[in-house]
Structure 1
Amino acid sequence: MSNFIDALKASLKAGDGSSVTVSVRISQDENDVLQNIAAHVGTSRQEVVHQLIKLHAIPAWQALQASGQEKNSLISERKSEYFILNTNKTNSKSDHELMINEGIAAAFEDGYIGKIDRIKKGDVVFLYESGKGIIACGIATGESIDEEEPEKYGHKSMRYQYLKNFRRLSSPVSAKEVKRIVGRSIPFVQTLASISDGDILYQNLKKH
């Protein structure tokens, strides 16, 4: 309290510029405290409230804003990751066609939809068709969407993300060819697989 009183006295001596009137409702106990502080410093209750805002509320808000900007900066500096998503054509041709036609990365049913949340904004997603290879790719928005009516797609739940710059390849890149490009085997049978060397693959697919 003593720190605030000292700061309040110093601020009152410095004075302020133009101001606007703001009404606020407080309890009787709070009003009594304000009156005591105002009497001690030699100012009005309104000025005490004003200085509380100036000395505490505004700096706290500025710190919060700065923290948010720092967080956004860290997000923007995050390196993109690369994922291969199996379109599930073996089990559902309609799931496969939905992803291709709508340009989305999707997963279905409660045991799988959480995988979509691994994909963050700016990540690259390769769509893999079983038996053929990678057939499309795009850049994730980072916004996971839960389908409100998954039943119309034949599922109890569905989660997806739109892919920006979505591109269907002129011809599939087979699993064998992908292995040759990155120099190792990729777990295509998984619903979603992260690949650390995806940039090599992505640059190669730009030629297709």
Structure 2
Amino acid sequence: MLYYLDSQDKENLQMLKRTNLKSVGWREEDLEELLVKNLDRVLDEENLMPIFTERNFQPEPDILALDETGKLYIFELKRWKSKDDNLLQVLKYGQKYGQKSYKDLENMYFKFNPDAASLIQDHREYFKLDSESEIKEEHFNQHQQFLIVTDGTDFKTRRAINYWKKTGLDIEAIVYRVYTTDANEHLIEFNTYSPFQDVIEHEPSNFILNTNHKRNPASHQDMLTKEKAAAYYHPWKNKIQRIQKGDKVFLYQSGKGIVAMGIGTGIVNKEEYHGKANEEYNMNLEDFTILKKPMAAKKMKEITDSNFMFNQTLFSVDKEKSDLIWKHIKENHM
């Protein structure tokens, strides 16, 4: 639930009014478009590449996406309260699309992205995979993950999901709720599914940005010179909008480590890139520091006791780990 914080009345909780997408003029297709462009935020721990969205009047999944290993994610979206037969629908899609070959997926991808050269090439570029980590055609769609996105869950749906999970099926529900304020503003909240309770995930507020030096050394240098964090082209450029005022941002160079760091201003600038308008999103960083010696990935893992997915354009780091990295840099790399 979401509540107002009233600076005058600090003793009582005033709940925001619940509503639904239909009441605020949103269609199921609008929710689908929102998710396709923001999968990295709704599934913060997963970096997914959308490869297909439902076409009108076709019995197809709402969204198909891949992770870096080639695992296929099958989404079923509902604008209304979920029912247990939603599970039967998504499992039916799983039976059909789980048998698709790489060529089948590529043909679907071409419908979603007509200008694409090949699915495997775009997959390699999307996840920034090198020759050692890139996957082959036969690795695609070896496993599937089912996701139901719905406005609330009822008891039958919870029971059905728990049943299928116990059998070993990779199935989850993502619950969203829509609210309206007294000023007629509309809010949406996404929660990941828990078999015991709905859990509100706290948005991490510190980030590591891969500058993509290997493929674009000029843009890497531009970030250091202009003291900014930047990303280019859809969907990667949109990740810059996740950085808010006061967030710690570490610039990471592949093969080297963290080479610079600063504090987000919260202001996203949209600029021309290679002759195309608004294809660079960037944010100036305050307290910008270029390290005298890069902080290697091995050292980052050592002091935080964590692994990091450096192949992503931008990924979040919780406050405890980012503070450890920041402190180590201040003490050893300046």
Alpha-carbon spacing, 1:168–1:144, altered in 2? closer, same or farther (3 Å):
same
Matched, 1:117 2:266: no
Query: Which residue in 1 is equivalent to 2:273?
Result: 150
Aligned-partner SS, 1:200: helix
The answer to whether the 8 Å contact 1:80/1:124 transfers is no
Unaligned runs of 5+ in 1: 1-63, 65-78
Structure 1 Cα separation of the partners of residues 204 and 227 of structure 2: 19
More strand by share: 2
The answer to whether the 8 Å contact 1:108/1:159 transfers is yes
RMSD of aligned alpha carbons: 2.3
| CA deviation string 1:81-108 (max 9, x = no partner) | 2100001111101111011111100000
Out of 77, 87, 90, which is 2:214 matched to? 90
Aligned-partner SS, 2:219: helix
The answer to whether the 8 Å contact 1:86/1:127 transfers is yes
> How far apart are residue 179 of structure 1 and its match?
0.3
Query: Which residue in 2 is equivalent to 1:161?
Result: 283
> How far apart are residue 80 of structure 1 and its match?
7.9
Structure 1 Cα separation of the partners of residues 235 and 308 of structure 2: 22
Out of 265, 271, 276, which is 1:141 matched to? 265
Q: Letter of the 1:118 partner, please give it.
A: R
| Worse-matched range after superposition: 121-130 or 183-192 | 183-192
- The structure with higher relative contact order (CA 8 Å, sep 6+) is 1
Structure 1 Cα separation of the partners of residues 262 and 204 of structure 2: 12
Query: Which residue in 1 is equivalent to 2:303?
Result: 181
| CA deviation string 1:155-201 (max 9, x = no partner) | 87100000001000010010000000111111111100101121111
Query: Which residue in 2 is equivalent to 1:203?
Result: 327
Structure 1 Cα separation of the partners of residues 273 and 292 of structure 2: 30
Aligned-partner SS, 1:193: strand
Aligned-partner SS, 1:206: helix
The answer to whether the 8 Å contact 1:141/1:161 transfers is yes
The answer to whether the 8 Å contact 2:253/2:259 transfers is yes
The answer to whether the 8 Å contact 2:270/2:278 transfers is no
The answer to whether the 8 Å contact 1:85/1:126 transfers is yes
Query: Which residue in 2 is equivalent to 1:23?
Result: none
Aligned-partner SS, 1:165: strand
Query: Which residue in 2 is equivalent to 1:15?
Result: none
Structure with bigger gyration radius? 1
| CA deviation string 1:122-166 (max 9, x = no partner) | 00000000000001000000000100x2225x8871000000010
Q: Letter of the 1:185 partner, please give it.
A: N
State TM-score, norm by structure 1.
0.59
Q: Letter of the 1:151 partner, please give it.
A: H
Q: Which runs of 4+ in 1 moved over 6 A?
A: none
For residues 1-208 of structure 1, the aligned pairs below 5 Å read 81-147=205-271, 149-151=272-274, 157-196=279-318, 197-207=321-331, 208=333
Query: Which residue in 1 is equivalent to 2:172?
Result: none
Equivalenced residue count is 131
Structure 2 Cα separation of the partners of residues 159 and 183 of structure 1: 32
Query: Which residue in 1 is equivalent to 2:126?
Result: none
The answer to whether the 8 Å contact 1:182/1:200 transfers is yes
Structure 2 Cα separation of the partners of residues 156 and 117 of structure 1: 13
State TM-score, norm by structure 2.
0.37
More helix by share: 1
Query: Which residue in 2 is equivalent to 1:40?
Result: none
